[in-house]
Amino acid sequence: MEIFVQQLINGLTLGSIYGLIAIGYTMVFGIIGMVNFAHGDVFMLSAFIALIFFLIFTTWLGISSVVLALLFVLVIAMVLTSLWGWAIERIAYRPLRGSFRLAPLISAIGVSIFLSNFVQVAQGARNKPTPPMIGDVIVLFQGESGYNVALSYKQIIIMVTTAVLLTIFWYLVQKTSLGRAQRACEQDRKMAALLGINVDRTISLTFVIGAALAAVAGTMYLLYYGVVSFNDGFVPGVKAFTAAVLGGIGSLPGAVLGGLIIGLIEVFWSAYFSIEYKDVAAFSILAIVLIFMPSGILGRPEVEKV
């Protein structure tokens, strides 16, 4: 029982990181109908930005409070990564918006390769560790076998951050003028423009918001694992995209739900079966769900416009 509870906590933590990345995927897809395949590498880039500035604040500037340093790092990572998201939209998507559907996809893949190789050249191919940030844990209970079920403070931070951001961005999309503009562009960009909505600005802001969420996910990833590599954008990015599809791409709660499911499947499969096949298990569940629910768990069937 204690092993099950511990793996449940670990799975929710990992799934929260996937969910943060998946929100960026689902927001961009919802508004322009395209998958931003550079989003995973934007997440990886944000983790490196967080690592660099965390070392600057703690080593060079001598900030002793890890919490204060993390807050500064999170804000800087969100700002700088948002600029990358804005640049990707202006360079890789906007000029190709009226082209055939594969053109932005190919352009996004090119941006992904560029970011991965840029970080590899700039930071090297080796894993980049960071000093331990938050190591304290709360022992929830001790099992009969002597196994302690523990909840670390960094796991609490990650799960609470995901819940808070999901609430904020759900409110943003449902209750604000920007959210109404995003939903209008999602339904019909030409009609939205005729009604006075600045479509280009709305799409740019969506990319900026998605990149900012990727920055939060990158900082949480660095906090949780304490190490980052130039190729860490591909696998988490693919799994987060899988989570967005599983939960129903275009749905913010669905993205987080899909991330939690993928994280739980990975952790439980690794604990009770073979760790080598955890990815196979996650993608198999995706395939099974999509056979019976093609729109995902919380997704809405796409209505063909005529």
DSSP β-bridge partners for residue 129: 227
Percentage above 70 pLDDT, the chain: 97
- Residue whose tokens read 């980052």: 228
Distances (CA, A) of 167 to 20, 62, 115, 164, 216: 12, 35, 30, 5, 15
Residue pLDDT, tens place only, 180-223: 998 898 888 888 999 899 999 999 999 999 999 999 999 999 99
Tokens coding 160: 């609470």
**Cα separation, 249 vs 53, whole angstroms:** 33
| 35: confidence class by pLDDT, cuts 50, 70, 90 | confident
pLDDT, position 306: 46
Domain ranges of the chain: 2-233
CA distances from 99 to 26, 47, 81, 83, 110 (A): 22, 33, 27, 24, 16
Question: CA–CA separation, 250 vs 239, rounded Å?
Answer: 16
Closest CA relative to residue 135, chosen from 150, 158, 161, 153: 153
Mean pLDDT of the chain: 87
Q: Is the pLDDT assigned to residue 18 strictly greater than 80?
A: yes
Mean pLDDT of 254-283: 88
> Residue 303: which pLDDT band, with cuts at 50, 70 and 90?
low
Q: Whole-prediction pTM value?
A: 0.91
Query: Which one is predicted more confidently, 245 or 101?
Result: 245
Percent of the chain clearing pLDDT 90 (strictly above)? 41
* Main-chain dihedrals φ then ψ at residue 16, nearest 5 degrees: -65, -40
